[in-house]
């Protein structure tokens, strides 16, 4: 299990325990957090689960795949060094404590 801290655009923080093997997106959707839409359900077919990985975690999370980078180009939000699609971040014990920030909206 990994605890992920989601920071909404409003600044509200939510610590969510997510089973290993699940994605960051799945954890956010279970809690119905503002700023997460995930229209494609994690199929890497949209960019509505865009999040910003906290700077301290970028190296541990690892880089986005080429396909993910292409999808991020379609995001309605500005891309930053920590931009990732949350459906592509799979949780493990190594990511326990991960902090991600959610955009104001995904559209």
Is 75:104 a contact under the CB 8 Å cutoff?
A: no
pLDDT at 50: 95
User: Mean pLDDT per segment of 10 residues, for the chain of length 107 residues?
Assistant: 95 96 96 89 93 97 95 90 96 98 86
Domain of 49, in residue numbers: 2-101
CATH code of residue 18: 3.10.20.30
CA–CA dist 102, 27 (Å, integer): 13
How much is the pLDDT for 34?
81
pLDDT at site 76: 86
pLDDT of residue 107: 75
pTM of the entire structure? Answer: 0.93
Question: Could you tell me if residue 66 is inside a domain?
Answer: yes
Q: Is residue 71 part of a domain?
A: yes
Distance (Å, rounded) from C-alpha 87 to C-alpha 82? Answer: 14
Count up the domains in the chain and report the number: 1
Note the pLDDT of residue 33: 87
């Amino acid at each position: 299990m990994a605890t992920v801290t989601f920071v909404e655009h409003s600044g509200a923080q939510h610590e969510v325990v997510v089973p290993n093997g699940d994605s960051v997106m799945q954890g956010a959707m279970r809690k119905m957090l503002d700023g997460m839409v995930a229209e494609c359900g994690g199929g890497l077919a949209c960019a509505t689960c865009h999040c910003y990985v906290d700077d301290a975690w970028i190296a541990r999370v690892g880089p986005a795949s080429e396909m993910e980078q292409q999808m991020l180009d379609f995001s309605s939000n500005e891309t930053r060094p920590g931009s990732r699609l949350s459906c592509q971040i799979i949780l493990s014990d190594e990511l326990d404590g991960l902090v991600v920030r959610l955009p104001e909206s995904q559209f």
